[in-house]
Amino acid sequence: MSRQTITTDVVIIGAGIAGLWLHNRLNQMGFHALLLENKTIGNAQTLSSQGIIHGGTKYALNGILSKATQAIGSMPARWQACLDGKGDVDLTHVKVLADHQLMWSKQQLSSKMVSFFASKALSSRMQTVAKADRPELFRYPEFKGALYQLDEPVLDIASVLKNLAQPWHGRIIHTPESTEIMWQQNNEGVQAIQLNGIEIKAQQFVLTAGEGNGELLETLKFTKPTMQLRPLQMVLCKAKNTPQALPAIYAHSLGSGSKPIATITSHFGEDGNTIWYIGGNIAEQGVGKNFHKITTDAKDLLNDILPWFDFPELEWATHAVNRAEPKQSALSRPDTAFVESKNNVHIAWPTKLALAPDLADQIIKQLQKQNLQKNTHRMTVNLPPATISKPLWDKAFQ
Ligand SMILES: Cc1cc2nc3c(=O)[nH]c(=O)nc-3n(C[C@H](O)[C@H](O)[C@H](O)COP(=O)(O)OP(=O)(O)OC[C@H]3O[C@@H](n4cnc5c(N)ncnc54)[C@H](O)[C@@H]3O)c2cc1C
């Protein structure tokens, strides 16, 4: 087979939030970076996410300001700068679903939690919501619990992907899923990859393929780092009749444990109906349950956490997805963004959407340490661009 060769400074594999953010930064800095995607942009974890730009408050519910809370604390401000056109990527056309999230508890919180939430470390990130400022759903007289507002926005992720992909779309390539990536490597690292008779030469290679990093590590014959998959089964519901649409809420429901019982975000279908996307304990415990069981559990849960609300007749869907992360002991949740480098190959997982800017910083630092050069490249081979995936809300109920 005749071989065509193209050259670039950096090859990035996997166009979820991690690959896209890095791709955008590198090209903007004047490097030539090619992003390869073998399905559609954002199709995996990124468009399965709830779009919450965590500031870490959720991870402090055990009354301790953990490493995760501290690492992620600066992320809402970092994203906000990008939304305002003053950050390292331009997100000025992103749709902000909510400026703040809520956290509610049916019962009054223990005095220990109240003082912790009011402490210096957390008070700048969360405030109690005065009765007069409560949204409709929490104005019912039967609601006698606590309501907090968290300084964490919720974004429409489809619009984030569009903003990040658009400026350098010509450098985001669709590689057929059936094509195995072949590595040309020696003791000093990787020189090129081969795909369907096309050779792509680069100085540096970054793997941001989420769950796909597992297979790429195998083909590279790297035994480290190792990956863990944490399965989730998310639940979606919407009113059967659009005129009775559910109210849009972005909120965590607190119980007595250290994790929210449920996290509800609201999204909008093509018909304008509001879709509640429910994560938290229900999604962790829903793994392996059949549709009837998990949706029955979800109905019971909603009636339990919002007993004062008269729900319209609802339609249900579920979404099974894995979180792909660096391996932790006992499948625990990693705290920070992760990158490990072996010569000129960098294996990365952001571990949270919110940490994508931090991950890009870390990778860029590694690339610069390895003396990445800005070269001029011409795309001599016509490669098909990758397209953006359809949002979950437009396919989950079909
Ligand atoms: C249900 C759920 C809810 C979440 N909610 C939040 C939240 O609200 N806030 C938050 O901060 N985080 C959240 N997260 C975590 C967050 O979504 C992930 O950490 C983040 O999206 C991971 O991004 P990524 O780019 O590493 O991976 P992915 O989004 O999984 O992208 C990997 C990409 O690589 C492609 N790929 C794979 N193999 C190959 C290959 N061989 N060649 C080319 N391309 C390949 C895939 O098709 C995919 O597009 C959530 C995760 C889940 C599962």
Ligand 1 atom nearest to 14, measured from its CA: 34
What separation in Å is there between the alpha carbon of 382 and the centre of ligand 1? 27
Whether the pLDDT of residue 82 is over 70: the answer is yes
Measured by CA distance, the residue closest to atom 25 of ligand 1 is: 16
Q: What is the pLDDT of residues 250-277, one digit of tens each?
A: 999 988 777 789 999 999 998 899 999 9
Is any ligand 1 atom within 6 A of the Cβ of residue 234? Answer: yes
Lowest-pLDDT range, 84-88, 154-158, 294-298, 379-383? 379-383
Whether the pLDDT of residue 2 is over 60: the answer is no
> What local confidence, expressed as pLDDT, does residue 158 receive?
97
Q: What is the pLDDT of residues 266-312, one digit of tens each?
A: 999 988 999 999 999 999 999 999 999 999 999 999 999 999 999 99
> What local confidence, expressed as pLDDT, does residue 152 receive?
92
What separation in Å is there between the alpha carbon of 129 and the centre of ligand 1? 33
Is any ligand 1 atom within 6 A of the Cβ of residue 55? Answer: no
What separation in Å is there between the alpha carbon of 209 and the centre of ligand 1? 8
In whole angstroms, what is the distance from residue 153 CA to residue 156 CA? 10
Chain-centroid distance of CA 154 in Å reads 11
Q: Give the CA-trace dihedral at 24, 27, 30, 34, to 10 degrees.
A: 150
> What local confidence, expressed as pLDDT, does residue 316 receive?
98
Q: What is the pLDDT of residues 203-237, one digit of tens each?
A: 999 999 999 999 999 999 999 999 999 999 999 99
> What local confidence, expressed as pLDDT, does residue 176 receive?
86
User: Which of 46, 179, 252, 277 to mutate to test ligand 1, by most ligand atoms within 8 A of the CB atom?
Assistant: 46
> What local confidence, expressed as pLDDT, does residue 380 receive?
77
Measured by CA distance, the residue closest to atom 5 of ligand 1 is: 49
What separation in Å is there between the alpha carbon of 359 and the centre of ligand 1? 13
What separation in Å is there between the alpha carbon of 72 and the centre of ligand 1? 17
State whether residue 128 is helix, strand or coil. strand
Ligand 1 atom nearest to 265, measured from its CA: 8
**Average pLDDT of every residue of the chain:** 92
Measured by CA distance, the residue closest to atom 50 of ligand 1 is: 49
Question: What stretch of H or E contains 330?
Answer: none
* H-only helix segments in the chain: 17-28, 45-48, 67-72, 75-83, 111-118, 120-123, 157-165, 213-220, 281-285, 291-305, 356-369
User: Which of 287, 353, 358, 389 to mutate to test ligand 1, by most ligand atoms within 8 A of the CB atom?
Assistant: 353
Is any ligand 1 atom within 6 A of the Cβ of residue 165? Answer: no
> What local confidence, expressed as pLDDT, does residue 382 receive?
78
Ligand 1 atom nearest to 50, measured from its CA: 8
Is any ligand 1 atom within 6 A of the Cβ of residue 252? Answer: no
Count of Cβ atoms closer than 10 Å to residue 103 Cβ: 23
Measured by CA distance, the residue closest to atom 51 of ligand 1 is: 49
Is any ligand 1 atom within 6 A of the Cβ of residue 105? Answer: no
Name the residue among 320, 319, 349 with its Cα closest to residue 333: 349
> What is the pTM for the complete model shown?
0.95
Ligand 1 atom nearest to 181, measured from its CA: 41
What separation in Å is there between the alpha carbon of 177 and the centre of ligand 1? 17
Is any ligand 1 atom within 6 A of the Cβ of residue 318? Answer: no
Is any ligand 1 atom within 6 A of the Cβ of residue 101? Answer: no
Q: What is the mean pLDDT of residues 59-65?
A: 65
Assigned token pair, 143: 């609601």
In whole angstroms, what is the distance from residue 299 CA to residue 338 CA? 37
What separation in Å is there between the alpha carbon of 207 and the centre of ligand 1? 12
What separation in Å is there between the alpha carbon of 48 and the centre of ligand 1? 8
Is any ligand 1 atom within 6 A of the Cβ of residue 389? Answer: no
Whether the pLDDT of residue 352 is over 70: the answer is yes
Is any ligand 1 atom within 6 A of the Cβ of residue 233? Answer: no
CA 348 → CA 186, 213, 215, 338, 339, distances in Å? Answer: 21, 8, 14, 6, 4
